Structure 1
Amino acid sequence: MNGKKLTIVVASTNPVKVNAAIDGIKQLFPKCNYYVKYISVPSGVADQPMSDNETLTGALNRVNNAHEAEPEADLWIGIEGGVARMGNELAAFAWIVVRSGSMIGKARSGTFFLPQAVTNLVEQGIELGTADDMVFNRKDSKKEGGAIGILTDNVVDRKQLYEQAVVLALVPFKNEELYKHNVSVG
């Protein structure tokens, strides 16, 4: 991918997700020339995915819907944040899916546990970003540092959490010969 001019479609208009995708590509493919387009497409899952599988499904749906909307692109990137119950706690994470015409890469971000006040709201059906805003007296925190940024004083923010997973989802594209036979779109 280095040296080639690529059209990349990010399946979100959220600046955190767009910047995580762009910066992840820059890290793994520093010589890549690209044009990035970002579009809003449906995830086909709940606004707040409540399981690992639902979150992955949302990222896959986003990437496939972006492909359908912009079929002439070279790469499509879908990012879906979600939560899942783990024992007595609620864990937060994201799934990232990167797709080309013939390959797909997937990765999950790091996981962290939410405070009980946020967990209670999310389990009542409130989206994590809204719950964070309510508990921490913020506005649009999901377009900034997110829950992880609030909880770590931005030592790690939402973009950084997603960016590393974007890099990991790009591994098959960095190593196409190793992945071309066992990674397919479909």
Structure 2
Amino acid sequence: MNFPKRENFKISEKLLVIVGSKNPVKVACTDSAFTEAFNRGFVVNGINASSQVSDQPRGDEETYLGARNRVVNAKKTFPEADYWVGIEGGIAEDEGGMYAFAWIYIEDKAGLNGKAKTGIFYLPEAIAKLIHSGMELGEADDQVFSQENSKQNGGSVGILTHGTITRQTYYNQAIILALIPFMNKELY
């Protein structure tokens, strides 16, 4: 199968991408992923957009809804954009323990959408206990690992992999996967 060359995605004017969060990690990874996927520059800005879910979403459904709601609310706030991106981190549990993940939801001005989920990783029992007591994952990380504002830096994934995978690189791949429909509009 022949794939279109990445050069064919180049367009001279920069398109505007709005991220439904001012978290600098989420804005930076969105910028990086869009640039990689389309081989061009974008103007990427973050705005405060409500997820309308719990501060610590649990399970796929609530976490996905949070990402989608960030897009819906970002569109209401900033309808002039070309793309809107929602990134929502969540936790869930299975027989192996508590694990973390994130959902990515992207929409363009034509109404096309793309979605993807990051890989999962299991959290230490000390973190799980704090979350069960009502703490958010970022707060639990800060307490257990003596960090400050870790969710706007490397996050759990960065701490637990000793920086081998940063929060930005963790989200980056999932954002590119969520961009597949936009990179292949003829198929979607």
- What is the aligned partner in structure 1 of residue 5 from structure 2? none
Residue 8 (structure 2) pairs with residue 25 (structure 1):
no
Aligned to 1:99, the other structure's residue is in SS state: strand
- What is the aligned partner in structure 2 of residue 41 from structure 1? 49
- What is the aligned partner in structure 2 of residue 83 from structure 1? 91
Q: Under a length normalisation based on structure 1, what TM-score does the superposition of the two structures give?
A: 0.93
Q: Is the 8 A contact 2:71 2:86 kept in 1?
A: yes
Residue 60 (structure 2) pairs with residue 52 (structure 1):
yes
Q: Which amino acid aligns with 2:73?
A: N
Looking at structure 2, the residues matched to 153 and 36 of structure 1 have their Cα atoms a distance apart, in angstroms, of: 28
5 Å-filtered alignment, 1:1-186, equals: 2-3=10-11, 4-31=13-40, 33-101=41-109, 102-179=111-188
Q: Which runs of 4+ in 1 moved over 2 A?
A: none
Q: Is the 8 A contact 2:30 2:44 kept in 1?
A: no
Q: Which amino acid aligns with 2:39?
A: P
Looking at structure 1, the residues matched to 51 and 76 of structure 2 have their Cα atoms a distance apart, in angstroms, of: 13
Looking at structure 2, the residues matched to 59 and 68 of structure 1 have their Cα atoms a distance apart, in angstroms, of: 15
CA offset at residue 88 of structure 1? 4.5
- What is the aligned partner in structure 1 of residue 3 from structure 2? none
Looking at structure 2, the residues matched to 86 and 167 of structure 1 have their Cα atoms a distance apart, in angstroms, of: 27
Aligned to 1:94, the other structure's residue is in SS state: strand
CA offset at residue 112 of structure 1? 0.2
Identity of aligned residues (%): 46
Aligned to 2:91, the other structure's residue is in SS state: strand
- What is the aligned partner in structure 2 of residue 183 from structure 1? none
Looking at structure 2, the residues matched to 17 and 112 of structure 1 have their Cα atoms a distance apart, in angstroms, of: 19
Looking at structure 2, the residues matched to 105 and 131 of structure 1 have their Cα atoms a distance apart, in angstroms, of: 31
Aligned to 1:71, the other structure's residue is in SS state: coil
Looking at structure 2, the residues matched to 109 and 147 of structure 1 have their Cα atoms a distance apart, in angstroms, of: 13
Looking at structure 1, the residues matched to 101 and 147 of structure 2 have their Cα atoms a distance apart, in angstroms, of: 20
Count of residues in correspondence between the two structures: 178
> Which stretches in structure 2 are left out of the alignment for 5+ residues?
1-8
Looking at structure 1, the residues matched to 19 and 34 of structure 2 have their Cα atoms a distance apart, in angstroms, of: 11
